[in-house]
Amino acid sequence: MSLINRRVQTLDEFTIQQMRNFPNATGELSGLLRDMGLAAKRVNVEVNKAGLVDILGDYGTVNVQGEEVKKLDVYANEQFMGVLRHGISCAGIGSEELDDVVIFDDEISNNSKYVCLFDPLDGSANIDVNVSIGTIFSVYRRVSPLGSPATKEDFLQPGIKQVAAGYVIYGSSTILVYATRRGVNGFTLDPSIGEWTMSHPDIICPPTGKIFSVNHGNFFKYDEGVRRYINACQMKDKASGGPYTQRYIGSMVSDVHRNLIKGGIFMYPNTSDKPGGKLRLMYECNPFAFIVEVAGGLATDGHQRILELQPTDVHQRTPFFVGSKLMMEEMQTHYPGN
C-alpha cells in the first residue's frame, strides 16, 4: 500500500490557504471552485465512457439500467448547473447550452455573492474521435443587492470584472486550471484518490513562443491583416525565432492551454461569412482572456482588449486573439486600424 505524499496540495487545501490572505473572506469562492471541481469529476467519468456508447446504449436510447443516455454536453450542463444550484456560492448561471440565464431564486442562492457563466463541454464535435474537450467558466461578483434574486446585469459585466475564471481539460490526463487576480494554478486529477492535486503552480505564459494556432482552412476568408500575420509566422527565419509551428486541435481549451504553457498565439478571427467571429465572449473568450492576462499574456478582438468589451448579450460572439505578449504585439502591428 502506498502512503499519500503529504507534499501534494489538493485544490481544497490551496483555495482555503489563499482565503487566509483575505481576513473578510467568507469562503464562498473556495466553495464555488470546489463545486466546479466536483461536477468536472463527474463529467470526466462520462467523457471516459464516451467511446462505449455503442455498447452501453446510444444517445437518446434507454441503457441497461433503464436510464436515458444523454448527449454529453447536455449531461455536462446539468452537472455544472446542479452543483451550483445546490451549493451556497452561486445566485445564477449562464451556459452555452441554455437560451437564457437561470436565476436560482431561493433563500440561500439569493444571499450568494457570485454568478457563473460556463461552456460545459467545449469542442464537443471532437468527442467521437477521442480528441480532448473541455469546460470553460467565468465567475463574477453580483452587482445586485444580496438578499434578492440575481439580475441580468450581474451577468453582463465586462471581463475585467471577473473574480475568477478557469477551465478543465478532459484529455490524456484531466486538469483543472483556474485564475484569480493573484495568479494562475493548475491541478491534475489523481484518479486513484479522486483528488485535484497541484501540478502547475503559478503558471506564467512565456513572453514569446513558436506556436501559432489558427484554422488555416479559413485563410482566404480572413481580413488582409490576419493573412499578413499568418504569412509572417510561416516566413520566420532562425534569426527571428523561427520557423514557427502551426498547431490547431480545434478544441480551444487544449489549443490555448498548450500555448499558455509553451508560449504561442491562438486566433479565431472574424471571417467573411462570420463577421462577428465564432467564439462566444462571455464563456469562451473572457475566461481565457482573464487567465492568459493574469499569466502575463494578452487578449484582444483585433482592435480592443477583450476584457474591456461591454457585453450586451450572454451569447454574443467576438473575434479572438490570445497568447504570448510579444507575439500578440507583433500580430497587432499587422492588423488594420492599429
- Look up residue 315 and give its three cell numbers: 451569447
What's the closest the beta carbon of residue 222 comes to ligand AHM, in angstroms?
A: 12
124 binds ligand AHM (CB under 6 A): yes
- DSSP type of residue 250: S
293 binds Mg ion (CB under 5 A): no
123 binds ligand AHM (CB under 6 A): yes
Residue 185 interacts, among ligand AHM, Mg ion, none and using kind-specific CB cut-offs from 5 to 8 Å, with none
119 binds Mg ion (CB under 5 A): yes
Query: 31 vs 277, which CB is nearer to ligand AHM?
Result: 277
286 binds ligand AHM (CB under 6 A): no
Peptide bond into 243 cis (omega under 30): yes
Identity of the residue numbered 125:
A
CB 175 within 8 A of CB 199: yes
Binding mask 122-141 for Mg ion (x = CB under 5 A): x-------------------
What's the closest the beta carbon of residue 145 comes to Mg ion, in angstroms?
A: 32
CB 132 within 8 A of CB 249: yes
In this chain, which stretch among 105-113, 115-123, 233-241, 322-330 interacts with ligand AHM, using CB under 6 A? 115-123
Q: Which helix (H) or strand (E) holds 74?
A: helix 72-86
Binding mask 51-90 for ligand AHM (x = CB under 6 A): ----------------------------------------
Alpha-carbon gap, residue 35 to 41, rounded angstroms: 10
Residue 215 interacts, among Mg ion, ligand AHM, none and using kind-specific CB cut-offs from 5 to 8 Å, with ligand AHM
122 binds ligand AHM (CB under 6 A): yes
**Number of residues forming the site for ligand AHM (CB under 6 A):** 11
215 binds ligand AHM (CB under 6 A): yes
Beta bridge partners of 118: 95, 137
Among 169, 230, 252, 306, binds ligand AHM (CB under 6 A): 252
154 binds Mg ion (CB under 5 A): no
232-251 positions binding ligand AHM, by CB under 6 A: 250-251
299 binds ligand AHM (CB under 6 A): no
What's the closest the beta carbon of residue 9 comes to ligand AHM, in angstroms?
A: 30
Backbone φ, ψ for residue 313 (5° rounding): -145, 140
Contacts of 100 (CB under 8 A, 6+ apart): 94, 314
E strands in 45-144: 90-95, 102-103, 114-122, 133-141
Query: 162 vs 251, which CB is nearer to ligand AHM?
Result: 251
Contacts of 283 (CB under 8 A, 6+ apart): 94, 95, 96, 117, 118, 119, 136, 137, 138
Closest residue to ligand AHM, judged by C-beta, is 252
Query: 44 vs 135, which CB is nearer to Mg ion?
Result: 135
Q: What b/e sequence results for 276-314 when a residue is b if at least 16 CB atoms lie within 10 Å of its CB, and e otherwise?
A: ebbbbbbbbbbbbbbbbbbbebbbbbbeeebbebebeeb
SS3 91: strand
Residues 282, 286, 288: CA angle, nearest 5 degrees: 130
Query: 8 vs 125, which CB is nearer to Mg ion?
Result: 125
What's the closest the beta carbon of residue 278 comes to ligand AHM, in angstroms?
A: 6
User: What is the contact surface with Mg ion in residues (CB under 5 A)?
Assistant: 119, 122
User: What is the contact surface with ligand AHM in residues (CB under 6 A)?
Assistant: 119, 122-125, 215, 250-252, 268, 278
